[in-house]
Structure formats: structure tokens, C-alpha cells
Amino acid sequence: MRLIFLICFSLMGFVLIACGKQPTIQGSSIAYQKMTFSWNGPELAEEEATFLNYKMEVSFTDPDGENIVVPGYFAADGNAGESGAEKGRVWRAHLLPLKPGKWSYTVSFLEGENMAIAPGNAEGRSLAFDGEQGTFTVSPEDPSQGGFLGKGKLQYIGEHFLQFTNGEYFFKMGANAPEVLLQYKEFDGTDSDRAYNQHIADWEEGDLLWQEDKGKGIIGVINYLKKQGINSHYFLLMNAYGDGQTAFPWVGQDEYYHYDVSKLDQWQLLFDYMMQEGMMVQFVLSEQENQSYFEHKEGGDFANSRKLFYRELAARFGYLNAVTWNIGEENGWQKDEGYGKLITSEQRKLFAAYLKNLLPYEELIVVHNGPSTTDAIFEDLVGDPSYTGISFQGNFQDVTHGYDRILHWRKASAASGHPWVVAYDEPYTSPEFPDLEVWRKNSLWASLMAGAAGTEVYIGKGEDLRIEDYRKYQAYYEVMNHAKNFFTKSEIPFQELSPIVNEKANAWQLAANDEVFVLYLRDGGEGELTLPEGVFEIHWFNPRTGAWSQNDALKQVSGGQITLLGKAPGEIDLDWVLLVKKKKD
């Protein structure tokens, strides 16, 4: 029913009344925080026709007149995460408002064959609340809010680092394992024994729960990681016929048109909690073993079921403050001729473009290479407008992967005019635990000194599927947090630092604006730099402990020439970081 206006009279004169179905609006109505709009439609159930033949979209207009279109989704009774409902009338859309002031909306709700994946100009039968319009007001942001809720939306801005709405840049330190995070027994419809029992003690009174007492283990995981300084987690949203095989948004691994509404509601609760605690989600949408899952089932190069999969995820999770959308893990590495058939470059481009069109914000859309010996899949993607970064896999023992290849893709993307956000997401290791010193040098600091926007830690030999106790990784988290603190708490513009390649130097180098220089002395020794004119202060940072030290013999130097910066204040044969900053007048 389209919007109809009636004129009603009273003793005070007359008022204009909108006689349409108004949505239920939930949320704080504060900028940077999720708002939920729910309408009642026809009674429907979790079945193929519901997800495929109905299409809801909401067009939101912000106070400056800019428009974004948000896909909506079937939400059963509107409380399925608690009730377990499989039927209902509720259709829902989420908005992350980035500006305070008066907003307006127009909602579309159409029915037709395959309407959910039909082009935007496709015609269908108008239903229920189709055409309804309204307005609402958003209050200014609250910077005191925890996690990302006071920062806004993390978006790609055409640079090598992502930026929040409030202007703050993001420096990622993440957990790459376990990739089967969502195989949690307390999610509805998840056949798993995974309980994260070791982290139940990390859950605190008042933290998130669902269905009375579920969620303590996985919420405890998020709490523990936050305390370690980890701000991102990589995991699979779909591993049907892949590793683990029980994390997918459907009621079964062959039911790819039959979404599990209560399970998805519970996933959303977890992801909302991660936003509140300041942890980016990296959604991995396929893996090597099932990269052609949808196309193997249905045929063609871009299956309708994949299109619906992307749409459902964008509708349910596209509002989240900080997301990496990963088209696939080890993409293009052929497992077999079935589900694992390699994805081509053209498919990668099609998939990313389709997903980008569904998402209302400028998101980080990446793909992951594999095996660790090749990154050739990125060649055809340089300059592609849909990919805003890459999820890089290399060998942690090979320093050329940690430094040279990261540097290569950063430079190649910049030269194309479309700079990538490059992250070393999988420094691959086949031993159960990589040597910490080798990993710290060849993976962590090598990638950061090459200009990476962040790093994640991966543990192989099956631990990426088995691990439930994250404390096994604690030594790695500690040195990662030291590195993050160096770049984010030393009052340097880390987003402006660029690698300086000097084959003769005994250190990797970064510089910004001829005023800030960072050296990583891999094997100790004496620092050396060609400095511009001026006086520079020297600060020593221990990447093993996170402590700052001062070499009493040399606290500042004059530039204008090749300058010796002295030796480390202790343990001179180990790795050290030098921060050289131009002294203010």
C-alpha cells in the first residue's frame, strides 16, 4: 500500500496524518550506533520461497540529502534468537547513521519469482508496507561509548589504512585462528562440541547471553582477546564441505536457500558485542575446499544461491561498524573439480562487484591467496574498483613474504591509482607453534615495516580447527600488542608512514613528512639514517617487551647528512625499533 494522507480536524485546526504502517524503531537513535527498523508483512516461514521471492529495501536519506539503500531481511517473529521461531511476519533493516539530524526513509517490499536477486529496476507485486515513508531524528555521536560505537563506520578512503567516521585510523592486530569460531554449540542449529570452556571464566556478570544462559564461552573469548590488545578476528561464515563443515547460515549444509533465522540472530548478537568491545570481524565467505560450492550445486559462473548468500549477509550485517569482507580463503587454489574447483579472476571480480553494490558504505573487500607459495591471484585485481585490499598469506619463515611481497602489493596498488589496504592475515606455519622470534621478525615487524595495515597470527597443524583455549597464543598476542602500541600510542602519524627501501641498510625503514622516521634493526647493530636538515630526537623501543629505553649516550642528532644513531641501550644483538622525530622549535 502506497502512502496516503488524510486531513483530520480538531478544535485547534487541522493536522496531517500518515495512514500507512509505521515501523517499530529500536536503538538509541545516536549517530554511529545501530538502529533497527521492523515492519509487519504477510505470515511466512523459513523456506526457499520466503528468501528468494520477496525483496525488501529501505532507502535512507541523511540530513545533507545523501541517500543510501539498505537491503532488508525476513526476521520471523522478530525475536527468533530467543524464541527459536521459524515463522512470522517481521521484516527488518538496520541502519548505522553517520550524521546527526533529521533523516527520512522510503521502504520497498515486492514479491515475484527470484525477486530477492532481481536487478533494481525489476517489477514485482507490491505488498504490505511497500512505499511507506517516514522521518526520524538522530542525536549526535557519543565519543565516550565503548569499542567502535563512539567512532563511527570504518571505511576505505582511497588510502592504505582504513578510517573511522570520527577521523581516527585503524591499526589491525588480529586472530586468524580458529577459523571455525562460529562452530559454537550454543548457536541454534550448530552440530558441534565446541564450547570454549576455558574462557567461561572470562565472561563477566552483565555481559551478553541469549536464551537465558547461552554464550558465556564465546563471549569470554572476545573479552580475553580484548584484554590482550587484539582488535580483529578472522573466521568462516560458510564452511559447508570445507574445514569443520558445521558453520553456515542455513539449516543444513545442502539447504542453501533455507536460512536459519534464529542462528543468524544469535550470530548478530555476537557481532554486535564485538563492535561494542572494539573488535573488527573478518567475514570469510568461502574457503579453498568450497570456493565453487554454489556453482557446483547449480552450474554457471555466478549461481543465484551465491547472490542470495551475499544479499542475506549484507542485509543482516552490513551496518556493523568494522568489517573485512573476504571473498574467499585460499581462493584460486584448486582442491578438486567439484566444490573446490578454482575461482577465476573474472569470477572474483564479479563476486566483489556484486557484494560492493549491496553494501551501503565504502567497505574493505578483500580476497585471500593460497597456497603460501604464490600470490598470483592478485595480479589481475590490481586497480579493480571493487577490491579495496588483500588478505595476504605467506610463509612465516620466509622474510621475502613478510616484507618484499607486502611491499610489492602496496606499491603496485598505489601505482594503479587505487591503493590497497594490505594485511598479512596468514603468515602460514605448518609446525603447531612457529618460533616466536622468527615470527616476530619475519611476519609481524617485516609486514608492518613494509607498510601493512595490520597482521594476524595463524597457528597450523590443525590447531586452526581445534583450538578452543586462546591462551596458547598469548606470547604472540603480547608482541602484537607491543607493536600496535608503538604505532598508535607514540603520537606519530602511522597512516602517513611509507617504506624507504635501502638495500645497503641493516634496518627496514619508514618515514613520514621528513619529520618522523622508524627503523627496525632486525639483528641489532647501530642505526643509520640520511636525515634532512634539523635536530632530531632518538627513542629506542624494545619489540620483545614493549618498553621504551633511552640511550644516554645519544638522545638527539643533527640532520642534513648520513647520521649514526648509536647502538641499542641493551641486548645489542637482538631486534630493536628506533623512533626518530624532528624536534619542535
DSSP for 172-189, please give it: EEEE---TTTT--TTSTT
Same domain? 420 vs 369: yes
Within a domain: residue 5?
Answer: no
For 76, the domain range is 20-138
252 and 194 co-located in one domain: yes
474 and 351, same structural domain?
Answer: yes
3-state secondary structure 317-356: HCCCCCEEEECCCCCCCCCCCCCCCCCCHHHHHHHHHHHH
- Residue 531, domain CATH: 2.60.40
For 559, the enclosing helix (H) or strand (E) is: none
Strands 35-45 and 421-428: unpaired
485 with 439, same domain: the answer is: yes
Mean pLDDT by 10 residues, the chain (585 residues): 31 31 94 98 97 98 98 98 98 98 98 95 94 98 97 98 98 97 98 98 98 98 98 98 95 97 98 98 98 97 98 98 98 94 97 98 98 97 98 96 98 98 96 91 98 96 89 97 98 97 84 97 91 94 94 81 88 95 88
Please indicate, yes or no, whether residues 183 and 96 belong to a single structural domain of this protein.
Answer: no
Same domain, yes or no: 287 and 178: yes
> Pairing relation of β-strands 364-366 and 389-395?
unpaired
Q: What is the CATH number of the domain that holds 356?
A: 3.20.20.80
Cell match 542455513: residue?
A: 250
Both 95 and 53 in one domain: the answer is yes
Reference 107, options 43, 58, 39, 159; nearest CA is 58
d(CA 152, CA 146): 11
Burial of residue 212 (CB within 10 Å: 0-12, 13-18, 19+) is exposed
- Considering the domain architecture, whether residues 362 and 432 belong to the same structural domain is answered as yes
Residue 449 lies in a domain: yes
pLDDT at residue 430, rounded to an integer: 84
C-alpha cell at 148: 567502535
Among the candidates 112, 138, 164, a domain finishes at 138
- Judgement on whether residues 452 and 507 belong to the same structural domain of the protein: no
Q: 3-class SS at 415?
A: helix
Beta-carbon-side half-sphere exposure of residue 51 (alpha carbons within 13 Å) = 27
The C-alpha cell 586468524 sits at: 176
Residue 151 lies in a domain: no
Of the residues 461, 489, 517, which one is the last residue of a structural domain?
A: 489
Q: Nearest CA to 425 among 405, 436, 306? A: 405
What local confidence, expressed as pLDDT, does residue 122 receive? Answer: 87
371 upstream amide cis, omega within 30 of 0: yes
Beta partners for residue 393, in sequence order: 426
Looking at residue 160, what is its pLDDT? Answer: 98
Q: How far is CA 189 from CA 87, 257, 265, 556, in A?
A: 16, 15, 12, 62
Domain-located, residue 312 = yes
Residue 95 shares a structural domain with residue 220: no
The predicted pLDDT at position 2 comes to 33
Same domain, yes or no: 304 and 437: yes
CA gap 184, 200 in Å, rounded: 13
CB contact at 8 A, 133 and 104: yes
- Is residue 142 within 8 A of residue 30, CB to CB? The reply is yes
CATH code at position 76: 2.60.40.10
Contacts of residue 6, Cβ cutoff 8 Å, sequence gap at least 6 = 16, 17, 19
Instruction: Indicate the residue among 113, 138, 163 that finishes a domain.
Output: 138
Give the pTM: 0.95
Assigned domain for 127 exists = yes
- Give domain status of residue 379, yes or no: yes
Residue 2 belongs to some domain of the structure: no
Are 452 and 392 in a shared domain?
yes
Domain count, the chain: 3
Q: Has residue 522 been placed in a domain?
A: yes
